[in-house]
Structure 1
Amino acid sequence: MSGRMRLLEPGSLFGGPLFRTLLRDRLSITELQPGTLVGVFRIDREIARGGMGIVYSAERADGEYEQTVALKWLPDPAPNSTGAELFRHERQILANLKHPHIARLVDGGRAASGHLWFAMEYVDGLPVDQHVASRKLGVRARVALLVAVLDAVKFAHGRLLIHRDLKPSNVLIDNDGDPKLLDFGIAALLDDPEMPKAYSPGFASPEQLAGGEVGVSSDIWQLGRLCEIVLCAGDPPRDPGSLPSDLKAVIDKACADDPRDRYTTVAGMQVDLERFLAYRPVTARHGGVPHRLHLMVRRNPFAFAASAMVVVAFVAVVAAFAFKLAGQRDAAERAREVTETVNRFISRDLLSAADPWSGGNDSVLVSTVVEGAVEKVERRFANHPEVAGALDLELGRILNNLGRFDLAAATLERALPRLSRTRGPRHATTLEARFLRADVAQNAGDINLAELLFSRLRADAVPLGDRGLIERIDARLAWSLLQRGNFRGCRDAYSALRDSGGGQDEEIESEILSGLGLCEARLGLNDESLVHAEQALALRYRRLGKDHPLSLESELLLANVQLGMGRFDDAAATGMETYRKSRQRNGERHPTTLTIAHDLGISLVCAGKPEDGAEWLRRALEGRISVYGVKHLWVANTQALLAMALGQTGVEGEAERLLADAETTVQHDPVGDAFVHVSVLRSRGDLRLRQGRYEEAERDFRKSLAISNEIYDTRNPKLAQIRISLGLSLIHGPGRDEGFGLLRGAIEEVRRTPTCRSEQVQQAEAALARL
């Protein structure tokens, strides 16, 4: 096949060289009237027109399902076998170009009149520059949209396609706020030696204007121009000179006159924009030390606040020592010694690793700094056990917040005997250290140890009458019931805590509301759960701000409720925004970020996007393995749900392997989690059902139904969904009558709430219709 045949420009719509050639063969184009059928689509109205054709809004008319498309009606070319072959190849290239931020090809062909047509995904939205201006979006929100556009272009480049017409009118923002890249109108495959010289005036790179070679670098130039227009759009427009220095550097590098001075790839430019969003210095600019230090503080505000708390604790320790030693003969000398020791630790051991003025590196994360400090406390404060205990307590608290559970546990284990010996076993600081140690065990998923430590602490706290501490412990014991899959028990425990007057403190109140809401969500009590989720979220927003880690946990709860209610798109949107904030605040491998990625993957699978869902679940799985290890129930849960997503996309081999690993973990876990057991059984049953292994599927669904009846409220839609699955496995064998009975009894209930297994619901409806 010739280079021209292999290296076709996909998606040429109005300005494409392919159709310019076709127009030269036949200059007329027939207009379509509303109601005209083109393929399976009925023309509704004209929405755009250009020199190369007309765009219509059209509706699917074959009755299969409702669908609106943008139908590109192109001129009627003269009979030409080469042109027809080019069109077929172009249509196939577009069909393979699947990306969430690229408008996809739905259909295409040649009408009886000879006209060529494409049916493309209909995007109802504004061009990106008009969108950001009308919404008055801030700079960071605009950059986030641009990052998504760059990801789409990077995806196309990875398939040897360039766009060559990147401009605001070719990037629409849909009703969900997501960008969609349109019209690969003058795109070409990278290694085409006869690449046509075509471009849109005003958006052409220098080499395009000069008629030179056009490739990736030209797209990068246009992306730089697009960034400048989007970032400056407004009424009145913003002066480009007023943009942040790092963004100006990115634009200047992308739009360099010499292609050799630009970014080598779109990925490089995308990374710089992501570094800007993460408050990291961009590679396009060599900022000075003050600028880099400023970014370091901006990107880790929570961790630096935590570090500041440590410093405050150190100062308090020094003051306490000075007061305690005031009556001793060498009080001044001892106080001065403690002060100097603490100050040396703060300046030399704790903070210097992240201080570029002290020879440190501003790319060092606070977690790395804290981990390094842990190793030095023992040596630096060997003669000051009370100081060492206080430092270990605060470092353990930070490490727990950072998700470094192993190191946090070891640090707190070292703090406890020192605090107990120097301050007493019933001192508030010692009790706080014990609470944190139990909290670390719970966060790490060691449920048995957490329950043991919390129960012992509660027994010691009751005689002291510390109501606040007792409420905190009771809230964590209720959470432990949730971790075990005892949803009824955790709902009752949280309700009792709330009804007994617990939650006088707003922090405890928001914790009770969040826990209660999640227990209710697991039970399928969606209305009650939504009320409590919204109350907890409002309380934490008001008290802590929208980006605080606890606020992000409440957003995660809201996404869980939306998922349970069948509002899958809402759950995915909430999860996506929460993931973005958690990744920026906590880091990509933080347990909270990974849980958000896990739940986001489920939402996308349920929303009918199993391939996208599988990508997020895979990301969550890799992260959870790195945090918890391979044989952990939460890892097994992600494996089971990833297997479900892969089964829906036909990747059965990997799904089988994941389910085998998850089953091994479930069988050998000494505690067990009914919720995870059900997840593994259902995913394996789904795969067996899809493979026609009905007896094996029946066994899995019966087991999952038996466990689910124990843990879920009778109103939970999951029970009806499992009965549908079980019924489908039975109707193919001797249990046919039982199977149809289950289908009849459950079908109306599952119709009321959308399900992640909509394919099985459709199969059940079809089976009942055939009776």
Structure 2
Amino acid sequence: MLREVYEARRRALGPDHRDTLGSIANLGALLRSRGKLDEAEELQRAAMEIARRTLGDDHPETLSIVENTGVLLWTQGKYEQAEACFLEALDARRRLLGEKHPDTLASMCNTATILDMLGKADEAEALHREALESARRVLGDEHRITLTAINGLGSLLWGQDRLDEVEPLFAAALETKRRLLGDENRETLLSLFNMGALLDSQGRLDDAERHYLEALEGYRRVMGEDHPGTLHCLNNLGVLMAQVGRYDEAEDFYREALERRRRVLGSDHPDTLTTVGSLGAMYGSLGRHDEAAACYAEVIEGNRRAFGDDHQTTLNLIHSVGVSLWQAERFDEAEAHFREALEGQRRVLGVDHPMTQRSLDSMGTVLESRGRPEEAEVYYREAMEVARRLFGATHPDTLDSIGELAELLIAVGRFGEAEPLALECEAGNREQHGADAPETARATELLIDLYQGWHGAEPDAGHDASAAVWRDTLTGGAGAD
């Protein structure tokens, strides 16, 4: 019906008439609500061009269309294009309407949110706080824009793990929206989802599930099955169910979210790739490594197309695929993935970065699995030295690297070189975790293996006595000096 109205007005009034422009905007909104985002974008851009030409860049209606175009681009995952639209609308409204006008404050909220999504956290926080302070002063605590600003600031603080600051913001916003707008208003549903996600991150999983399910039911009824809010709820319920071991339910939620996101958003949209990656992580935890690797490979290719080969997210995903392939004993493919991740991380992040250190360690592991101990040793040693510089001598990651190198040296019979490393590993774990911790027990077992192997190579050197001392330590004796 809206398309027919648009076509009729276009024929009767011409493409540049105000009524035609209104019909374009209405039809674009309908297409967006039905998940036809590419068609909606085409119409939205046409409306923006007509408004600029007929009304001028600074006309209020033009600025509304520019802002709405930004919202659509944001929904599509086109964050940099969305940022340009939001900044244009905000700059014009500051100039024309002033800092305290509701339209200016709404633009501040949108711009701050997209800045946060683009990793510009300091700029985003300053703008969120400016919007919130002005909205409270001008519009009051219960105005829709004030509540939007509260949610935006809360989401940013949450991303920085400042959870003590987040919960009172989210709780107040949710209570106010329930009271003023009702339980099934879209703003209330957004606050329900945000509260569920916060509770999830705090480990309060029963409360989180309750909030997610209420939000999901509301989104389905009010906004429809394909609305982004519905899809976010489905994805997060999948994550939560996997956390609590309800894997069949988790897979059902993931698969529904994935099918709808592929259809509505496309295979390369960040939200679609997030669901594929979450499904892959669950498969990996269940030992379904081939399925996990297939999911991760899809995410890698999507990120390559979206961000390029050297983006940090792409490189981390390449490493994750390597882990799944290694667990599936597809060692040659795992090595190729670990090597690509490592080379990119050295280039982009530098050698003294935790992700680079992890990939060095993974290269050592896969080369050892392939029976190439000399090459593995090179990577294990570099991983250990980087860990010492990054984390310190007794950090768990450093102790793991020390133990892996010691284990390799024991396996190739270089017991004298392995001994100081194995002793350092045991002492560090004892200091870090305590005498009864599993990590300390594993380090003690490594020393027993060392001295038993050394005794086999040099039967008269007394290494069997050292093995006995550490065995006594492991079984609750007095311990070793």
The interval holding the TM-score normalised by the smaller chain is 0.5 to 0.7
1:697 to 393, 409, 425: 425
Unaligned stretches of 5+ residues in structure 1: 1-300, 316-335, 352-363, 482-488, 668-676, 710-718, 742-771
What is the match of residue 165 of structure 2? 452
Is the CA contact 1:517–1:532 (under 8 Å) kept in the aligned structure 2? Answer: yes
Measured against aligned partners, the alpha-carbon deviations of 1:175-229 in whole angstroms (never above 9, x if no partner) come to xxxxxxxxxxxxxxxxxxxxxxxxxxxxxxxxxxxxxxxxxxxxxxxxxxxxxxx
- Amino acid in structure 2 at the alignment position of 1:473: N
Q: Which amino acid aligns with 1:442?
A: W
Deviation at 1:561, TM superposition (A): 1.4
Q: Which one of 553, 556, 559 corresponds to residue 277 of structure 2? A: 556
Equivalent residue number for residue 24 of structure 2: none
CA apart distance, 1:560: 0.8
2:471 corresponds to which letter in structure 1?
A: R
Matched, 1:615 2:328: no
Q: Is 2:136 aligned against 1:420? A: yes
8 Å Cα contact 1:547/1:581 also seen in 2: yes
- Equivalent positions of 1:323-722 (< 5 A) are 340=59, 343=62, 366=81, 369=84, 373=88, 376=91, 380-381=95-96, 383=98, 385-386=100-101, 387-443=103-159, 446-448=160-162, 450-465=163-178, 467-481=188-202, 489=203, 491-498=205-212, 503-506=217-220, 507=228, 510-518=231-239, 529-541=250-262, 544-585=265-306, 593=314, 596-606=317-327, 607-608=330-331, 609-610=334-335, 612-616=337-341, 619=344, 636=354, 638-648=355-365, 649-650=376-377, 651-663=379-391, 682-691=400-409, 692=418, 693-699=421-427
Residues 489-498 or 431-440, more deviating: 489-498
Counterparts of 1:75-224 in structure 2 under 5 Å?
A: none
SS, match of residue 385 in structure 1: coil
Alpha-carbon distance in 2 for matches of 1:401, 1:344: 22
Q: Contact (CA 8 Å) 2:258, 2:272: kept in 1 or not?
A: yes
CA distance in 2, matches of 1:388, 1:661: 48
Could you state the TM-score of these two structures normalised by the residue count of structure 1?
0.39
* Equivalent residue number for residue 154 of structure 1: none
Letter in 2 for 1:647: G
Contact residue 192 and residue 215 of structure 2 kept, 8 A: no
Change over 3 Å in CA distance of 1:571–1:654 after alignment to 2: same
Question: Which residue number in structure 2 is paired with residue 728 of structure 1?
Answer: 446
The structure where strand makes up a greater share of residues is 1
Paired positions, count = 367
Aligned-residue sequence identity (percent) comes to 22
Do the aligned partners of 2:318 and 2:338 also contact (CA within 8 Å) in 1? no
Deviations 1:358-399 (A, max 9, x none): xxxxxx963774697499458634635323222222223333
- Compared with structure 1, are the counterparts of its residues 595 and 737 closer, same or farther at alpha carbon in structure 2 (3 Å cutoff)? same
Segments of structure 2 that go 5 or more residues without pairing to the other structure are 1-35, 71-78, 221-227, 366-375, 410-417, 451-466, 477-481
The structure that has the greater radius of gyration is 1
Shift of 1:555: 0.5
* Distance change (3 Å), C-alpha of 1:538 and 1:308: same
- Residues 582 and 592, structure 1, Cα contact 8 Å, conserved in 2: yes
Contact 1:572 1:600 in 2 (8 A): yes
2-side partners of 1:595 and 1:618: how far apart?
12
1:726 Cα deviation from its structure 2 partner: 6.2
The alignment's TM-score, normalised by the length of structure 2, stands at 0.58
- CA spacing shift, 1:369–1:339, aligned 2, 3 Å: closer
Instruction: Indicate how the Cα distance of structure 1 residues 496 and 653 shifts in structure 2: closer, same or farther if over 3 A, else same.
Output: same
Q: For each residue in 1:488-525, what CA deviation from the matched residue of structure 2 results, as whole angstroms up to 9, or x when unmatched? A: x2544433445667653255564455345445656777
Distance 1:702-1:532 versus aligned 2 partners, 3 A rule: farther
1:558 Cα deviation after fit? 1.2
Over 3 Å counting, the alpha-carbon distance change for 1:522 and 1:346 in structure 2 is closer
The match for 1:94 is: none
Change beyond 3 A, Cα 1:731–1:597: same
